[in-house]
Homo-oligomer: A and B are copies of this chain.
Amino acid sequence: MGERPVRNPLGIALKSNRATMADVAKLAGVSRQLVGFVFQGKSGYSPEAAARVHKAAKQLGYRPNLAAQSLRRDTTKIIGVVFDPRESSPLEIIQSLYKVSAKNGYEVILSAIADDRDEDEAIHELIGYRCEGLILIASRLPTEKLTLLASEIPFISVGRQLDSSIADSVCSDGAKGLELVVDCLASKGHTDIAYINATSMLHSEVRLSGFLNATLRHGLPQQVIEIEGDYTEESGAIAADILLKKDLMPTAVACSNDQQALGLISALRVAGISVPSQISVAGYDDSRVAGFSFLSLTTVHQDAEELAEMALNRLIERISDQSLVPSVLLSPVSLVMRKSVVAKSL
């Protein structure tokens, strides 16, 4: 049952004998086309026929062949997502992307970057599946390659802000986020506030500008700790070392992201500095770590679902009208107050 003729000269049945529409149709006693209509939710068949089709499909364990669908359809309805599993922030966005895509009738195919698999390769795989558009999460591709890619396929950069001469990008409003942080710290009486700037990160400039704006507005000194590293726990630990060597430590520190804050706080605690009683620390991202009871990090919240929604909606717009002028979209941010920031002790 369910067997199909095998053309293989060796007589070995290579093809999996998974049921096709034709098998379902045969069992249900209808034409293959009707099975297709039923599965596409179109009209043009009786409830009885539909019931028989569903029953037969269930009995045979039928699943539509997505490759065949994508091949035949005028539009594949597939969005490709490139991400780096070594980074934690993309993961929350992926969650939301599935949700938002389903709502818009799109399928998602993920393509990860790995040690011996660069972004180019990940992208080419997705193009191989004839994705209608790509979402590049925290892309590190040089701008020239992005420009080239934009001429080949619609895409949007998430988390990395691009010059609008290149392509669409969405990220959280980093400048605004850091202004919120500084406002909060200032309102708690802090006047000696340091910002940890990891220069090798792509949106470091935007966040730095927010810090500088806010401190200027409050008439505070602008103390920036430059780190060559990236947004990892380790760079936070390095920043802690620098702080510890100072004669006078700031009373509050704004970090570039939550992971950095975790590293900073942990390293300070190892050195015997208590957070928050001796020094207040704020993060950025409101990632999973921020909620940990032992951190309870005051941080800038970016709604992953809203970010995903903005990205996908814009991408869908672009797919239907490739002549759109690229733009930078900023998703709104808010401050989540937790326990890592307290009023300055006198």
A110 at the binding interface (Cβ < 8 Å): yes
A65-B71 in contact (CB<8A): yes
Partner of A115, one of B67, B95, B132: B95
Contacts of A85 in B (CB 8 A): 85, 91-92, 94-95
Number of copies of chain A assembled together: 2
- Within A107-126, the residues touching B (CB, 8 Å) are 107, 109-112, 114-117, 124-125
Stretch touching chain B among A11-19, A40-48, A183-191, A205-213: A11-19
Contacts of A132 in B (CB 8 A): 16
Give the docked Cα–Cα distance between A102 and B292 (Å).
38
Contacts of A266 in B (CB 8 A): 266, 269, 292, 294-295
B130-A115 in contact (CB<8A): no
A289 at the binding interface (Cβ < 8 Å): yes
Contacts of A95 in B (CB 8 A): 85-86, 112, 114-115
A66 at the binding interface (Cβ < 8 Å): yes
B61-A152 in contact (CB<8A): yes
* Complex interface bits, A46-88 against B, C-beta within 8 A gives 1, otherwise 0: 0000000000000001011111101100111000000001101
- Within A266-318, the residues touching B (CB, 8 Å) are 266-267, 269-270, 288-289, 292-295
Give the docked Cα–Cα distance between A254 and B14 (Å).
49
Knowing A61-B152, A99-B114, A110-B110, say if A130 contacts B267 (CB, 8 Å): no
Minimal beta-carbon separation of A222 from chain B (angstroms): 27
Partner of A270, one of B86, B269, B289: B269
15 pairs of residues in contact across A and B, judged by CB atoms under 8 Å:
A15-B74, A18-B127, A18-B130, A64-B128, A65-B128, A66-B128, A67-B67, A67-B71, A85-B94, A86-B91, A109-B109, A233-B292, A234-B293, A263-B292, A266-B292
Q: Which residues of A contact B (CB under 8 A)?
A: 8, 14-16, 18, 61, 63-68, 70-71, 74-76, 85-86, 88, 91-92, 94-96, 98-99, 102, 107, 109-112, 114-117, 124-125, 127-130, 132, 152, 233-234, 237, 240, 263, 266-267, 269-270, 288-289, 292-295
